[in-house]
Structure 1
Amino acid sequence: MFKKDLTASTKTKVKSSIARGIRTKVLETYPLLTPHIDTIIPKKSQLDAIKLPDRVTLYVLCDASTNNKTIPLFWQHMDDPLIPHLKIVHQYPECFKSLGIDRGAIRFVLSGAALMTPGMTSKGGKLPSGEKGDEEVEEGDVVVIRAEGKDEACMVGMLEVGSEEMKKTKKGVAISQGHYLGDGLWKMQLD
């Protein structure tokens, strides 16, 4: 989705009522962000929307405390769920559902290829066990992808198939479009 370099088009100020709705949606989708929401999207701050190609909207915060530096927060494709920018994921890694990929899948993910199920079902991959505290993930859930042997998340996207089905079939596409380290969204100049 973000393979090409992106340039920021004009920013549009988000109305305060819509910003409140975005805060609510973020908390519904990512309840573990509740203690951090006032840091991520302060109530009195200006939230802006940037239109990107392929009907994607990037929500950014214009932060007065950092000389009006623009901070990417979440992006949304049409009516899909709000998906966090990897910079938010790196700041609050414990607040998101995560899966793991083996070493062999890393180069494919970082080159923009679809994330395939075998990268998560092989020995180095990690899927939820289904036990309490490690619940299964469902189709349509937004998940963070961590690479075997690495500390930082390398991708975030929406699952096209649930973890139970991944374990059964061990093949197919798990995430066809997402935001990964080094893609156009990651490199985008916002200031």
Structure 2
Amino acid sequence: MFKKFEEKDSISSIQQLKSSVQKGIRAKLLEAYPKLESHIDLILPKKDSYRIAKCHDHIELLLNGAGDQVFFRHRDGPWMPTLRLLHKFPYFVTMQQVDKGAIRFVLSGANVMCPGLTSPGACMTPADKDTVVAIMAEGKEHALAVGLLTLSTQEILAKNKGIGIETYHFLNDGLWKSKPVK
């Protein structure tokens, strides 16, 4: 999704959000990520002014007061954390671990296939379909990518074919390389 993302070309407009919209977004984030509640004020303080950067392909970036990209979404999908935020607060998203063979493919933006999640080096945390997940790598400390489960973990174990996680944002893509938006 962010493979060819560039700040200057991709961001079409930036809007200041009303306080009522900010409250709604905070509520949606807390509903989607209950473990985030203790740190939501560090990430998105109540008194801070948030902005939405509208980008090409119906992508929206949620910016905090400093201009850092903290969450993004595609169309009206779920808000997903950026990898920078996930590296600071790694605990609030379900983690799925891929084996060593999948690392180079994930880092090039490929979706995670079911066999990469069921092989001996991989580890799956039980989750439902359409859950936002952090894609971890065998033997690595930080997340490689953020994605959305296309099948539940039970279906992945049973089927073991096809795409298991649709990758949205990965290390060294355009969003990772972008600087804070002023």
State the TM-score, normalized to the length of structure 2. 0.94
Aligned letter for 2:120? K
Deviation for aligned residue 1:177: 3.5
Alignment of 1:87-126 (within 5 A): 87-126=84-123
Alignment of 1:1-191 (within 5 A): 1-7=1-7, 8-63=11-66, 70-128=67-125, 136-191=126-181
Deviation for aligned residue 1:125: 0.6
Deviation for aligned residue 1:190: 2.8
Deviation for aligned residue 1:169: 1.3
Deviations 1:35-65 (CA, angstroms, capped at 9, x unpaired): 00111110010101111121010001123xx
Aligned letter for 1:102? D
State the TM-score, normalized to the length of structure 1. 0.89
Deviation for aligned residue 1:171: 1.5
Aligned letter for 1:104? G
Aligned letter for 1:78? R
Distance 1:160 1:81 in 2: 14
Deviation for aligned residue 1:20: 0.5
Deviations 1:67-100 (CA, angstroms, capped at 9, x unpaired): xxx2111001111110011111111111111010
Alignment correspondent of 1:66: none
Distance 1:26 1:89 in 2: 14
RMSD between superposed Cα atoms in Å:
1.1
Distance 1:59 1:189 in 2: 14
Is the CA contact 1:145–1:153 (under 8 Å) kept in the aligned structure 2? yes
Deviation for aligned residue 1:157: 1.4
Q: Mark the runs of 5 or more structure 1 residues left unpaired by the alignment.
A: 64-69, 129-135
Is the CA contact 1:5–1:187 (under 8 Å) kept in the aligned structure 2? no
Deviation for aligned residue 1:141: 0.5
Aligned letter for 2:39? H
SS in structure 2 opposite 1:93? Answer: coil
Aligned letter for 1:146? M
Distance 1:179 1:39 in 2: 22
Distance 1:125 1:6 in 2: 33
Distance 1:73 1:101 in 2: 24
Could you list the runs of 4 or more consecutive aligned residues of structure 1 that deviate by over 3 angstroms after TM superposition?
A: none
Among all aligned residue pairs of Structure 1 and Structure 2, give the percentage whose two residues are the same amino acid.
42
